[in-house]
Structure 1
Amino acid sequence: MKINWGTGIVLAFIGFIGFILFFVVRMSMDNKANHDLVTDEYYKQELAYQKEIDAEANAKNLVDPVKIEKTNNGLLLKFPKILEGQNIQGTVSLYRPSNKHLDFDLPVSLSNTHLLIPDKRLLGGRWDIKITWEHKGKEFLHKESITY
């Protein structure tokens, strides 16, 4: 049987379309390809974005900014000494881009100007840290990405 060039082109198109559809179906059904949003309440967070910008500007205007250091015991968050540690209220959110099940939040409760995040809570890899705190009615925000 002889195949002319028109039949060959049609067979090539059918083969290509089948190849693409195979991968589209495979990737949409596969559990490894997780297509979640970064946060569940994306639109709610988007509406409060100006407050976040203002809080970040407040943190950048501090003379002594927040510092994050790796130690043998974990991550050490050093808050500015100007702010009395007892008056700071807030949260530390650790976000793992590769696995949302590893994300966790810690309340900021300081006896002095530093907070230790234990080593056992952190797996190796990239972490996005978001520190939000309030001191005397003024909100602050510090964001940083680290590789632990």
Structure 2
Amino acid sequence: MNWGHSIIIVFVLFAAGILTLVTKSMRTKIDMVTKDYYSEELKYQEVIEGRTNAGSLSSLVKITQPAAAVAIQVPQELVGTPLTGTVNFYRPSDSGKDFSVPLNPDGTGTQIVGREKFIRGNYRVKVSWEMNNKPYYQEQVIHIN
């Protein structure tokens, strides 16, 4: 085989490889963090203020995994105070598995979320609430077994 045929074979293989990469990249599903990303970005100042306010508490919100649930424990100073907020469970690998629940701790400051809502893997838990007209915000990564 002469060198002219070799160049043509290399060119055809290169073109086939590029077409394969383009085809695979076009079929790859890409999830944005939120559907309305740009308006969420404009609200980010509230997140910064919420993190600062949450850092001023005696302790952070604790997220644990007892046997059949995920438990959210608010700091002791928040027990018994009226809170309005949400707990967002964000799954980075699949936005279809994201869900949120209203923040509603019981008399001991604990809120239980049933394990049946989760699948195995990592979740980013975003807890945001408002107390005395001040925003609070905290994030924590958990791994569901």
Structures share a fold, TM > 0.5?
A: yes
Per mean C-alpha deviation after superposition, the further-off stretch among 6-15 and 103-112 is 6-15
> Which residue of structure 1 lines up, in the alignment, with residue 133 of structure 2?
137
Q: Percent identity?
A: 31
> Which residue of structure 2 lines up, in the alignment, with residue 90 of structure 1?
85
> Which residue of structure 2 lines up, in the alignment, with residue 23 of structure 1?
21
Q: Would you say 1:118 and 2:128 are equivalent positions?
A: no
| Structure 2 alignment gaps of length 5 or more | none
Cα root mean square deviation, aligned: 1.6
- Contact 1:59 1:141 (C-alpha < 8 Å) held by counterparts: yes
CA apart distance, 1:73? 2.6
- Contact 1:86 1:110 (C-alpha < 8 Å) held by counterparts: no
| Structure 1 alignment gaps of length 5 or more | none
Number of residue pairs aligned between Structure 1 and Structure 2: 143
CA distance in 2, matches of 1:109, 1:146: 20
> Which residue of structure 2 lines up, in the alignment, with residue 79 of structure 1?
74
CA distance in 1, matches of 2:25, 2:47: 35
Per mean C-alpha deviation after superposition, the further-off stretch among 5-14 and 69-78 is 5-14
- Contact 2:125 2:140 (C-alpha < 8 Å) held by counterparts: yes
TM-score scaled to structure 1, two decimals? 0.88
CA apart distance, 1:86? 4.1
> Which residue of structure 2 lines up, in the alignment, with residue 101 of structure 1?
96
Larger RCO, structures 1/2 (Cα 8 Å, 6+ apart): 2
